[in-house]
Amino acid sequence: MSTHTEEPTAVAYGAPALEDALLHFEVQRFYSLEAQLLDQHRYADWLELFADDLHYWAPVRTNRLRRQQSLADGAPGEVAIFDETKASLAWRIRRFDSGMAWAEDPPSRTRHLITNVVVRPDDESGQYVAESAFLCYRNRLEREVDIYAGGRTDVLRRDADKGLLVARRTILLDQNVLLAKNISTFL
Amino acid sequence: MTLSRTPEPSADVSGYFDLERGLVDRTIFSDGALYRQELRRIFAPSWLFLAHESQFKKPGDFFTTFMGEDPVIVTMGRDRRLRAFLNACRHRGMRVCRADAGATKAFTCSYHGWSYDTSGKLINVPNGEDYPGHFEQDKWGLIEVAQLDTYKGLVFATWSPEAPPLREALGDMTWYMDAMLDRDPEGTEVVGGVHKWVLEGNWKLAAEQFASDWYHVNISHASALMVLSPTGKGPKKDIVQTPGRQYTDPLGHGAGFPTHPKSRFDDRVVHEYYDYDALRERLGDARVEGPTTTGHATIFPNFSYLPVNGSIRVWHPKGPDKMEVWAWALVDKSMPDEVKNAQRLYNLRTFGPTGIFEQDDGENWSECQATAGGFVAGGMTLNYQMGLGLEAQDGVHPGTTGRLYSDGAARGFYTRWRDLMNTPAWHEQPKAAESRTAEEDPR
């Protein structure tokens, strides 16, 4: 299940402590570096930021009556924009590296902006739940423009060798009908 | 008071085609008047795909979609019958349902509160006492489609009371459809959710391609074929030069498929699930070695499917230069959950807006449309000559087939399109227009 509906976290933090600030800085920096890799189309390097047991998921968003809001975001096992493992992401990335992925040849220009980061440590598992907002601007060929905007909820894990890794990512794109001909980048 | 409306004059479209010589004038992909004529003469009278039966489990379940550009509600009534209505209040025309799907007892317009039950009947009118005595509430129900029927789980409807029954309108195409819809005695279902996305392209670009175009696969989808190939180095020669057939239906439908005695599904889990001997028993050798596993198909005008991953989709027209794609993931009911899941994942990783195949289709269609705006480029003649003169009864597959690499089904699609565009639809017949009154159906 997606974790985006959990309790708001800001209040729970209380007065800011130095360790919160350091954690926030570390995660924000991690996301900035991740965004750079995506915008530089360094997808193989980008994939290194994910844990081997990754679940990378972007459910479909539907319009539901207010009393049926619990059904508004696609459930696991339904049609999804992404429903990926690390292996299947690698599969998608190999396509870009084939030299024949015409939807990205010439390549698009993208700019991933990651903001509104809220990190909550999970003391039991030693992992972090990090929520963020993203805005990805894509400009393609002469004047094609697409904007993908939404929220992400990550489970971040600290690996002794590799530092922070994304173990789980849920992407809620803030669109019903996807207002683009495709998504040829990652979010 | 009569409510007959004077339709925009319709054009004779014969001049846009010389299909015997495989020639098509590109104007048909960009002209606004032709597009409005399509809404009148292609979409209004044809059987159009609405939904899959498995989306409706109990009375009150509903799903909203479009027929042409008309918004419709599909819902199961208390009698468990599926009905489809124009999603427009009879009072001022606002949509009475603005959810994609759900369950309800009534559809209530949020403008003035007119409320309709799941059989379309107007059941509540606020301030009813202010309507004079001649207000006939029973005549102001939601406008219902003229005919609704299902074929092996697929729900279709038409606005035309004169359209032939669905089964007849599908013709010989059902033999090919069954290769996907009838593998399992229990039938099919769709997994939850629908992919929806917009494309800057005329709807016919996609409908035609799914009817007729295996040709583009090796080039457009070279990157995906490379990823899928066991060596990771690109498709083997025998895939590029695969034999196969393409079916052309006189009603505008089309399907193409490689033929191979060891034809199999691409996804390993799905491949291992199927008992190919049982499939041969059920569907016959010709189907198992042909349209059962791979290939493409379009049911005229705008429903298409891919047997290899259960992708079923509608190309909703949204203007001459825009379409909206709605795609479902179809599975066999008897499949164990892990096989259904494998099919779903294969579906969304290969097709849909992020699919490694379909990303490139989106680029092709938007690029074709982009050049259609030019005066010279937009009116140039396009070449639909592949396989011209090579079509025949092949003795194995019903109807007329040609080679796999052919424009045959596209020529068939446009023959049907031309003929429908040149034929006044039921709603244009003078008699019907004269007798239309406020009390009667004002469509």
**Secondary structure of residue B413 in the 3-state scheme:** helix
Point out the residue among A64, A80, A176 whose CB comes nearest to the CB of B196. A176
Mean pLDDT of all residues in A128-145: 97
The verdict on whether omega for the bond into residue B235 sits within 30 degrees of 0, i.e. cis, is: no
- The predicted pLDDT at position A15 comes to 73
| C-beta atoms of B344 and A81 within 8 A | no
- The predicted pLDDT at position B76 comes to 98
**Residue B326: both structure tokens together:** 């709605």
Q: Give the CATH number of the domain where residue B368 resides.
A: 3.90.380.10
Point out the residue among A80, A100, A177 whose CB comes nearest to the CB of B223. A100
**Domain count of the fold of chain B:** 2
Chain B residue numbers with beta carbons less than 8 Å from the beta carbon of A144 are 366
**Residue B91: both structure tokens together:** 């009072």
Chain B residue numbers with beta carbons less than 8 Å from the beta carbon of A62 are 99-101, 193
More confident residue, A18 or A1: A18
Element (DSSP H or E) covering residue B316? strand B311-317
**Closest C-alpha to B90, from B120, B55, B65:** B120
Q: B77-97 burial by CB neighbour count: b if 16+ within 10 A, else e?
A: beeeebbbbbbbbbeeeebbb
The position carrying tokens 């309507």 is B131
| C-beta atoms of A184 and B195 within 8 A | no
Which residues 92-151 of A have a C-beta within 8 angstroms of B? 92, 94-96, 98-104, 144
- The predicted pLDDT at position A6 comes to 52
Residue B434 covered by a domain: no
Q: Which of B66, B345, B356, B366 to mutate to test the interface with A (most CBs of A within 10 A)?
A: B356
Chain B residue numbers with beta carbons less than 8 Å from the beta carbon of A101 are 223, 359-360
> What is the extent of the structural domain holding B361?
172-421
Q: Is the pLDDT of residue A10 over 60?
A: no
| C-beta atoms of A182 and B193 within 8 A | no
A145-155 tens-digit pLDDT: 999 999 999 99
A38-63 tens-digit pLDDT: 999 999 999 999 999 999 999 999 99
Domain boundary among B149, B182, B211: B149
A72-84 tens-digit pLDDT: 999 999 999 999 9
Residues B287 and B366 in one domain: yes
The tens place of each residue's pLDDT in chain B, 443 residues long, gives 345 677 789 999 999 999 999 999 999 999 999 999 999 999 999 999 999 999 999 999 999 999 999 999 999 999 999 999 999 999 999 999 999 999 999 999 999 999 999 999 999 999 999 998 889 999 999 999 999 999 999 999 999 999 999 999 999 999 999 999 999 999 999 999 999 999 999 999 999 999 999 999 999 999 998 888 877 776 666 667 789 999 999 999 999 999 999 999 999 999 999 999 999 999 999 999 999 999 999 999 999 999 999 999 999 999 999 999 999 999 999 999 999 999 999 999 999 999 999 999 989 999 999 999 889 999 899 999 999 999 999 999 999 999 999 999 999 999 999 999 999 999 998 664 444 444 444 44
Q: Is the pLDDT of residue A1 over 70?
A: no
Residue B158 covered by a domain: no
Residues B285 and B391 in one domain: yes
Which residues 176-195 of B have a C-beta within 8 angstroms of A? 191-195
Residue B40 covered by a domain: no
Residues B206 and B103 in one domain: no
**B328–A contact, CB cutoff 8 A:** yes
Contacts 24+ apart (CB under 8 A), B163-168: B163/B45, B163/B46, B163/B47, B166/B47
**A73–B contact, CB cutoff 8 A:** no
How far CA B410 is from CA of A71, B252, B383, in Å, comes to 40, 8, 11
Q: Is the pLDDT of residue A14 over 70?
A: no
Q: Which of B359, B361, B368 to mutate to test the interface with A (most CBs of A within 10 A)?
A: B359
pTM of the complete model? 0.94
- The predicted pLDDT at position B234 comes to 66
Find out whether B39 and B50 touch, Cβ atoms under 8 Å.
no
Residues B99 and B182 in one domain: no
- The predicted pLDDT at position A164 comes to 97
DSSP B39: I
B375-424 tens-digit pLDDT: 999 989 999 999 999 999 999 999 999 999 999 999 999 999 999 999 99
Point out the residue among B223, B359, B364 whose CB comes nearest to the CB of A98. B223
Mean pLDDT of all residues in A32-39: 98
- The predicted pLDDT at position B208 comes to 98
Q: Give Cβ neighbours of residue B395 (< 8 Å, ≥ 6 apart).
A: none
Residue B247 covered by a domain: yes
**Residue A131: both structure tokens together:** 């929520």
- The predicted pLDDT at position B442 comes to 44
| Alpha helix (H) residue ranges in A40-83 | 43-47
Q: Is the pLDDT of residue A5 over 70?
A: no
Domain A13-173 has CATH 3.10.450.50: yes
CA distance B222 to chain A (A): 6
Chain B residue numbers with beta carbons less than 8 Å from the beta carbon of A103 are 359-360, 362-363
Q: How many CB pairs under 8 A join A and B?
A: 135
pLDDT band at A7 (very low <50, low <70, confident <90, very high): low
- CA atoms of B103 and B87, how far apart (whole Å): 15
Point out the residue among B226, B329, B341 whose CB comes nearest to the CB of A98. B226
- The predicted pLDDT at position A121 comes to 92
| C-beta atoms of B349 and A91 within 8 A | yes
| C-beta atoms of B362 and A103 within 8 A | yes
| Alpha helix (H) residue ranges in B221-336 | 222-228, 237-240, 268-273, 276-283, 285-288
| C-beta atoms of B193 and A80 within 8 A | yes
**B349–A contact, CB cutoff 8 A:** yes
pLDDT band at A17 (very low <50, low <70, confident <90, very high): confident
| C-beta atoms of A75 and B192 within 8 A | yes
pLDDT band at A123 (very low <50, low <70, confident <90, very high): confident
| C-beta atoms of B192 and A78 within 8 A | yes
**Residue B88: both structure tokens together:** 């427009």
Point out the residue among B100, B345, B352 whose CB comes nearest to the CB of A62. B100
- The predicted pLDDT at position B431 comes to 60
- The predicted pLDDT at position B1 comes to 37
Residues B229 and B124 in one domain: no
pLDDT cut 90: percent of chain B above it: 88
- CA atoms of B87 and B336, how far apart (whole Å): 37
Q: Is the pLDDT of residue A124 over 90?
A: no
**B268–A contact, CB cutoff 8 A:** no
Residues B252 and B206 in one domain: yes
- CA atoms of B116 and B123, how far apart (whole Å): 5
Beta pairing class for B61-67 and B70-76: antiparallel
Which residues 89-118 of B have a C-beta within 8 angstroms of A? 98-104
pLDDT band at A3 (very low <50, low <70, confident <90, very high): very low
How far CA A10 is from CA of A6, A14, B90, B428, in Å, comes to 12, 8, 48, 63
Contacts 24+ apart (CB under 8 A), B91-100: B91/B140, B95/B71, B96/B142, B97/B62, B97/B64, B97/B73, B98/A63, B99/A62, B99/A63, B99/A64, B99/A65, B99/A68, B99/B62, B99/B64, B100/A62, B100/A63, B100/A64, B100/A176, B100/B63, B100/B64, B100/B194
Orientation angle between helical segments B203-212 and B408-421, nearest 10 degrees: 140
Structural domain spans, chain A = 13-173
Backbone angles phi, psi at B210, to 5 degrees: -70, -20
A154-182 tens-digit pLDDT: 999 999 999 999 999 999 999 999 999 99
Residues B141 and B180 in one domain: no
| C-beta atoms of B103 and A71 within 8 A | no
**Closest C-alpha to A173, from A156, A153, A145:** A153
**B269–A contact, CB cutoff 8 A:** no
Chain B residue numbers with beta carbons less than 8 Å from the beta carbon of A91 are 227, 349, 356
Residues B135 and B201 in one domain: no
